[in-house]
Structure formats: C-alpha cells, structure tokens
Amino acid sequence: MTPIGNPKSPLSNQREQLPLSLLNDHLYCPRRAALKIVEGWRSANEHTNRGDIVHEHADLPGYEVAKGVTLLRALPVWSERLGLNGKCDIVERRPDGSLFPVEFKLGKRRQWENDDAQLCAQAMCLEEMFRTAVPRGAIFHADSKRRREFEFTTELRATTERSIADLHALLNPPRSTSNHQHPERLPPAVFKPACEECSLFEICLPKATAVENRAARLSRDLFKV
C-alpha cells in the first residue's frame, strides 16, 4: 500500500501554507516561482487565458455522479505537514471509496515533471485529509482531449517533497540573509525558447538579466583575493 505521509520529512515542522500552483511554477522555472512568491508579480497572456477557459467548468464547485463514480469539482485541499493548500480540478470517488485526482492541462498528451509533481502534491494532501492511500491520478490534456494516467511512485513523491522544501526555503531564508528586498533570493535567469511563452517574460527579461548576472559574476571573480 502507498505510504501516507512521512513523519521524518524535513517539512514536518513547517506550517506556512503555500499555494499548490507554485509547485508547478518552481519545477518549470525556479525564477518564475520566485518572482511570484518573493516579488509578488502576476501577469497574464494568451496561454494563461486559455488555461482559465480550460478550467472554467472544473473550477465550479459541486459534484455529479456518472456510472457510479462521484466527480467532486474544485475540491479544496491542504496539508499541514507539507504547508500547502489549493484545490483539485476533479477528484473521482470510486464505488469502493478510493480517491482519484484529475488535473486539467492545456497541451497535448505528454509527460511533464512539473505537471506530475503538482498532481502528486494534490494526492498527498488528499491522503493527509482523508487518511487513505491515493496511489494514482490522471492529467486530462485539453488540446488532444486525451487522458494520461500514472502512478505516484516513490521517486515522484521524493521529487515533489524536495521541490516543496525548496519553495519554503525561498519564502523563509536564513535570518542572516533576510531583508525587505531579498534580491539574492531570485534565482538567476536562464534564457530558453520556452521563456517567450511565459506570462512573466516582460518582467523577468531573461536575456537582459542573464547578461547582467554573468557580468556581476565576472566582476566578483576579478576582485577576488
């Protein structure tokens, strides 16, 4: 049976709640997550607007029953142990009482670590809330209208917990480095083709800031004793 929680997790003593969606951002691009959680930036573009449309039905709280399966829409979830909260697009409650989370995504059917980890985190929240194992889930890909089911493996759970720990560390740095602006808490920009599709592209300016980071690094190295 899939384990429910880990009492020795480094997250056990952390109680500040972070939104589940930030986990996806962090695995896609740590700088994107930092701009949101540290600097408070939010923006929208064609891709985020399309995503809102895809989630429009799933985001309406409620339930329906189809072929003996109860579909719970926009179910709020949280975990004290992980310090997370958010909601599941759909949770299927099967006739045997088991829970099966389903996340809606834009793209065609393919595997992305950030999407899988986000759904895995939802499953771990459900496990803590309902004290039951949630071993599998699925992502519905809107563009291809196909559903991809997968298991929440030990490896995926470990990746998910590491990323959550990184997010908490980003929000709560050591006291010796904490200040009001936190410039050192923003991960350096690394430009890649996918950057231009990011809703924070004009704020992040990865091409320009990556050059500045290289220049600052070279300047520090020049004056090292």
Residues 196 and 205 sit within 8 Å (Cβ to Cβ):
no
What class, spelled out in words, does domain 18-176 have in CATH?
Answer: alpha beta
Q: So where are the chain's domains?
A: 18-176, 188-225
Determine the residue type at 167: L
Q: What is the pLDDT of residues 163-221, one digit of tens each?
A: 999 989 887 766 554 444 444 567 777 777 777 677 776 767 776 665 555 545 544 55
Distance CA 32, CA 103 (A): 21
Task: Note the pLDDT of residue 152.
Answer: 98
Helix (H, G, I), strand (E, B) or coil at 75: strand
Whole-model pTM over 0.85 = no
Residue 93 has pLDDT above 70, yes or no: yes
Confidence band, pLDDT 50/70/90 cuts, at residue 35:
confident
- Residue 16 corresponds to which tokens in the numbers above? 């500040």
Residue 12 has pLDDT above 70, yes or no: no
Decide: residue 168, CB within 10 A, 0-12 exposed, 13-18 middle, 19+ buried.
middle
Q: Identify any residues that bridge with 75 across adjacent strands, giving them in sequence order.
A: 88
Determine the residue type at 83: G
Distance CA 113, CA 100 (A): 19
